[in-house]
Structure 1
Amino acid sequence: MVAEYAVYEGDTFLVMGTAKECASWLGVTPKYIQWLTYPAARKRFESRVDKSKCMTAIKLEDDDFE
């Protein structure tokens, strides 16, 4: 099964789908979408003063759909 992601800019939902689908929609690479879910990216997001211009992603698990 291919992992799905929900991508946000600040609190605004942008797109949901596989890393490849999200990347295509946003004009970035699939690796970047995956990186957005890593602890380092989360830490950078949380340290931002203005989060409204910062992109973040959540990797959706199978449990999220039940």
Structure 2
Amino acid sequence: MKEYAIYRGDEFKYIGTAEECAEFLGCKVETFKFYLTPTYQRRVEKRKRPKNYIVVVRLDDEE
């Protein structure tokens, strides 16, 4: 299973699957997956205070 880590700025918030993370954030799975896209990442970088925004990182299994 793919797992993701959620951060608000530099502060760690949660680890889980896409469904669990979406539930934690109170949003749809599609919205959660949007946080992984380059489009969202560019939008955050353009903001005045990007440290206040949600950042999602995919955790890869080591095999």
Please indicate, yes or no, whether the TM-score normalized by the shorter chain is above 0.5.
Answer: yes
How much does 1:52 deviate? Answer: 2.6
Q: Does 1:54 align with 2:58?
A: no
Match of 1:45 in 2: 44
Gapped regions of structure 1 (runs ≥ 5):
none
Q: What residue number does 1:28 align with? A: 27
SS at match of 1:42: helix
**How many percent of aligned residue pairs carry the same amino acid?**
35
1:43 positional shift: 0.7
Q: How many residues align?
A: 63
Matched AA of 2:10? D
- Which structure exhibits the higher relative contact order, with contacts defined as CA atoms closer than 8 Å and separated by 6 or more residues? 2
Aligned AA (2:43): R
User: Comparing both structures, which one devotes a greater share of its residues to helix?
Assistant: 1
Q: Distance in 2 between matches of 1:11 and 1:32?
A: 21
